[in-house]
Structure 1
Amino acid sequence: MRNLITDVAGLKVGNATDLALASGVTAIVFDEPTVASVDVRGGGPGTRETDLLAPDETVGAIHALCLSGGSAFGLDSAAGVMAALAERGIGFPVGDARVPIVPGAVLFDLINGGDKEWGRFPPYRELGYAAANAAAIDFALGTAGAGTGATTATLKGGLGSASMVAASGHVVGALVAVNACGATNVGEGPHFWAAPFEREAEFGGLGLPSPLPDLPSRPALKGLPPEVEPAIANTTIAVVATDAVLTKAQCKRLAVMAHDGYARAIWPVHTPLDGDTIFAAATGKHALADPVFDLALIGSAVVATLARACARAVYEATALPQPGTLPSWRARWDG
Structure 2
Amino acid sequence: MEADEPIVYQALNIKRHREVVEELLKKSKAYYAFETPEELEAKRKEAASRKVQYKYNRASAELSRETIDKYLSEGKPYAVRFSIPEGRTEFEDIVHGNTVFNNSEIEDFVLMRSDGSPVFQIAVVVDDHDMKISHVIRGDDHLSNTPKQILLYRAMGWEVPQFAHLPMLLDEQKKKLSKRRNPVAVEDYKSKGYLSEALFNFLTLLGFAPEDNREIVSKNDLIRMFTFERVNKKSAVFDMKKLDWINSEYIKSADENMIANLVKEKLEDMKLTNESVNLQYVKNVVSLMKERVSTINDFTEFGKYFFEEPSKFDDKGLVKHWNPQIKPVFADYF
TM-score of the two chains, using structure 2 as the length reference: 0.20
- Report the structure number with the largest CA radius of gyration: 2
TM-score of the two chains, using structure 1 as the length reference: 0.20
Query: Which structure has greater strand proportion?
Result: 1
